[in-house]
């Protein structure tokens, strides 16, 4: 009986350590993501609120991108693929620096919204996005339901969404734009919950190895995933809630 109680106490202590470590890990994920959001917001506002700077990338009247504008639009997508390919060769510090550089480039790519929409509508959409993101992420973290099966469907949906968005850049269909926006909100809402649970389960699965370098890089990759979910959810919601200048 005493041996059983000792084993049970040991298991309880290990579970408590994992829970404590998980909370610290998730705090680092959300903290890194938040800093990235501040970098993005600062760069976007600095460029988008300056007609002189914005005109380097877009026509000041129509807001249509020039060559540099097209490069800025696709740079974040290229950087995401590069980040995924290089993560194993980067140190944790290098991965964090890359993430903040990516956040700055993302700010450049979406800076046009400050010229296209009113500041109030941008702020309101950001607030709605933050509330929705917090609720979805909390659900993904606390739910006992295994939603890992969503992954394949969400990835397929995301690929289709990217293709449809690129096609609509050239055909400019209002109906397709509306459909992409609706589907985009649904996909990134689901991805927020899915990615949160995945970050949690990945930590629990690998924490026994006590590879601190992996844990640090895992937190940055998790921050990148949730950051992308938030940014895309915000941009799609802005299509519905934003008031044009």
- pLDDT in single tens digits along all 245 residues of the chain: 545 444 454 445 555 666 788 899 999 999 999 999 999 999 999 999 999 999 999 988 888 999 999 999 999 989 998 988 888 888 888 999 999 999 999 999 999 999 999 999 999 999 999 999 999 999 999 999 999 899 899 999 999 998 998 888 888 888 888 999 999 999 999 999 999 999 999 888 777 766 677 788 889 999 999 999 999 999 999 998 878 76
End-to-end C-alpha distance for the chain, whole angstroms: 74
Domain boundaries, the chain: 2-241
> What is the rounded distance in angstroms from the CA atom of residue 122 to the CA atom of residue 237?
10
> What is the rounded distance in angstroms from the CA atom of residue 19 to the CA atom of residue 34?
22
Of 166, 180, 173, the C-alpha closest to 232 is: 180
Cβ(180)–Cβ(164) below 8 Å = yes
């Amino acid at each position: 009986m005493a041996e059983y109680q000792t084993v049970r106490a040991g298991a309880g202590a290990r579970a408590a350590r994992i829970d404590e470590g998980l909370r610290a890990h998730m705090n680092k994920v959300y903290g890194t993501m938040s800093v990235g959001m501040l970098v993005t917001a600062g760069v976007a506002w600095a460029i988008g609120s300056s007609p002189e700077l914005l005109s380097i990338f877009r026509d000041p009247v129509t807001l249509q991108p020039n060559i540099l504008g097209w490069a800025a639009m696709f740079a974040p997508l290229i950087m995401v693929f590069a980040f995924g390919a290089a993560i194993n060769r980067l140190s944790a510090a290098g991965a964090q620096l890359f993430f903040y550089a990516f956040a700055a480039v993302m700010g450049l790519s979406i800076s046009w919204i400050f010229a296209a929409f009113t500041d109030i509508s941008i702020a309101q959409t950001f607030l709605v996005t933050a509330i929705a993101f917090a609720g979805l992420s909390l659900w993904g973290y606390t739910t006992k339901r295994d939603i890992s099966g969503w992954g394949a469907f969400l990835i397929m949906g995301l690929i289709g969404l990217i293709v449809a968005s690129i096609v609509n850049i050239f055909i400019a269909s209002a109906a397709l734009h509306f459909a992409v926006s609706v589907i985009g909100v649904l996909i990134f809402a689901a991805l927020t919950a899915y990615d949160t649970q995945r970050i949690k389960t990945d930590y629990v699965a690998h924490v026994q190895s006590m590879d601190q370098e992996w844990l640090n890089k895992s937190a940055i990759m998790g921050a990148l995933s949730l950051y992308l979910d938030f940014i895309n959810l915000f941009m799609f919601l802005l299509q519905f809630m934003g008031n044009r200048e």
